[in-house]
Amino acid sequence: MLAVGMCNDTGLAFGERWLSAARIQGKRVLEVGSRQVQQPSISLRGPVTALQPREYVGVDLLPGPGVDVVCPAERLVEQFGPAAFDVVLSTEMLEHVADWRAVVSAMKRVCKPGGFLLLTTRSPGFPYHAWPHDHWRFERDDLRAVFADCVELAIESDPKEPGVFVWVQKPEGFVERTPELPVYSMVTRRRRRSVPRVRTFVFTTLFGLRRRYVQGVPRPLRNLVNRLLGRRPA
């Protein structure tokens, strides 16, 4: 199971294919969602730092392994300034943030014109995995539209599990056009632009109860929780 700050072996191979020494050495690199919540972890940090960047900064909402600066992803520009990094990385983070548009916008704005953005995230069909929340699933065409204001170098499906890998370049004269695009919600099980926080809270609470107590409660109560979650009776 993937978690925030981690990628699978195909995601790691995708990153290593595009993150060459010519693009990393002497450059400033930012990793968004860098906290490694499971050990050992599969992370791009090791391969990238081996290419001798001038600076490698990992940011996350919570402190922990792999986190150099605690900062919400929506506030990257306030923390570091615009056009501060040559390369911006984010692996298995985007599906976990409530306002994915604000996070994508921040990653684009904190990247220098001519710089690169590499992102991996999950698609419909990948199971629910809350760290602490799991909001969205993205298809390849979704991310092609999301990054239409950048130069597409590679937007590919993960060949191993439902997911998408993105490698784009921020052009000179960049004009941001992050769209108001509906994407698949894990809470509503349909494409939505946003989901009310109360509904997300209820869903997360019920799912947590189901996962923790599913073997220890009577079948009628398990079935009620499953129906509230939009799932088949146990």
The band of 132, judged by pLDDT with boundaries at 50, 70 and 90, is confident
* Residue 5 · residue 66 · CB < 8 Å: yes
Residue 176 lies in a domain: yes
d(CA 58, CA 139): 26
Helices (H), 81-134: 100-110
Do 217 and 143 belong to one domain? no
Do 152 and 177 belong to one domain? yes
Domain containing 55 — which CATH number?
3.40.50.150
Do 61 and 170 belong to one domain? yes
Do 144 and 220 belong to one domain? no
Number of compact structural domains in the chain:
2
Longest dimension (CA), the chain: 61
The band of 231, judged by pLDDT with boundaries at 50, 70 and 90, is low
**Full-model pTM:** 0.86
- 46-92 per-position pLDDT tens digit: 999 999 999 999 999 999 999 999 999 999 999 999 999 999 999 99
Do 54 and 134 belong to one domain? yes
Residue 4 lies in a domain: no
d(CA 57, CA 38): 19
Residue 96 lies in a domain: yes
Do 133 and 153 belong to one domain? yes
What pLDDT shows up at residue 149?
98
Residue 148 lies in a domain: yes
- Separation of CA 37 from chain center: 14
d(CA 147, CA 127): 25
Q: Which two tokens stand for residue 155?
A: 């937007």
Pairing outcome for strands 136-137 and 111-122: unpaired
Residue 177 lies in a domain: yes
Say if residue 208's pLDDT is above 70: no
Do 128 and 147 belong to one domain? yes
| Residue tagged 């604000």 (tokens) | 102
Do 117 and 73 belong to one domain? yes
- 24-57 per-position pLDDT tens digit: 999 999 999 999 876 556 789 999 999 999 999 9
The range of the structural domain enclosing residue 167 comes to: 9-185
Give the rounded percent of residues in the chain with a pLDDT score beyond 70. 83
Residue 78 lies in a domain: yes
Residue 155 lies in a domain: yes
Say if residue 3's pLDDT is above 50: no
Residue 65 lies in a domain: yes
Do 220 and 150 belong to one domain? no
